[in-house]
Chains A and B, each alone.
Chain A
Amino acid sequence: DVKVTQSSRYLVKRTGEKVFLECVQDMDHENMFWYRQDPGLGLRLIYFSYDVKMKEKGDIPEGYSVSREKKERFSLILESASTNQTSMYLCASSPSNQPQHFGDGTRLSIL
């Protein structure tokens, strides 16, 4: 079975902090994705990557950046956390033109 592991299930940070969310997949997938999930808005794509060191902006990239130095790891970075970034963050991976597999999510609270 595909395993997508997000480093934290729950995280509490303060405004202005730099926050790192880590995601690791064990199936050698080319594609990796970061979403945020908010009630009534569904899942919205923040950033995605088709290959190592590649990144593409999704629908809501403002206030975020990403890093993919190794194929199995995709990090989401909040450069200066703000309260409106309190949300559930979901990581996913997939081979090309195949369904995405999701991690269990990180519930992030910014105080």
Chain B
Amino acid sequence: AQSVTQPDIHITVSEGASLELRCNYSYGATPYLFWYVQSPGQGLQLLLKYFSGDTLVQGIKGFEAEFKRSQSSFNLRKPSVHWSDAAEYFCAVGVPDKLIFGTGTRLQVFP
């Protein structure tokens, strides 16, 4: 069965520090992969997507993610976190038009 695992429920970083949020998926075929961000009280905003091609994808707000087929992973990274990045982050796999979501990682940023 398809599934997405985000092993970190809550991460705290200092402003300016680098960030990596982990995501592992289970899916039999080549996946469509997504990262979404949700600010408090808001809906989800697409950060980036992977459909095919270059395994390092760039997104909005300075985020990037790398697809590693051998590890079934799609980790999200940012070299320098800003206080405005505090939010909840969701990884998802497309099967293909439906989305299976992970349970989310809440990011807290200290000044």
- Which residues of A are at the interface with B, using a C-beta cutoff of 8 A? 4, 31, 33, 40-45, 48, 50, 58, 90, 92, 94, 96-97, 99-105
How many A-B contacts at CB < 8 Å in the complex?
A: 49
Size range of the chain B interface in the assembly: 20 to 34
Interface residues in B58-111 by Cβ distance below 8 A to A read 90, 94, 96-99, 101-104
> Given the complex, which residues of A lie within 8 Å of B102, measured CB to CB?
42
B101 touches A43 (CB 8 A): yes
> Given the complex, which residues of B lie within 8 Å of A4, measured CB to CB?
43
**Beyond A58-B98, A97-B96, A99-B49: 17 further Cβ-contacts under 8 Å?**
A4-B43, A31-B97, A33-B98, A45-B98, A48-B98, A50-B97, A90-B43, A90-B44, A92-B44, A94-B97, A99-B34, A100-B46, A100-B99, A102-B44, A103-B43, A104-B41, A104-B42
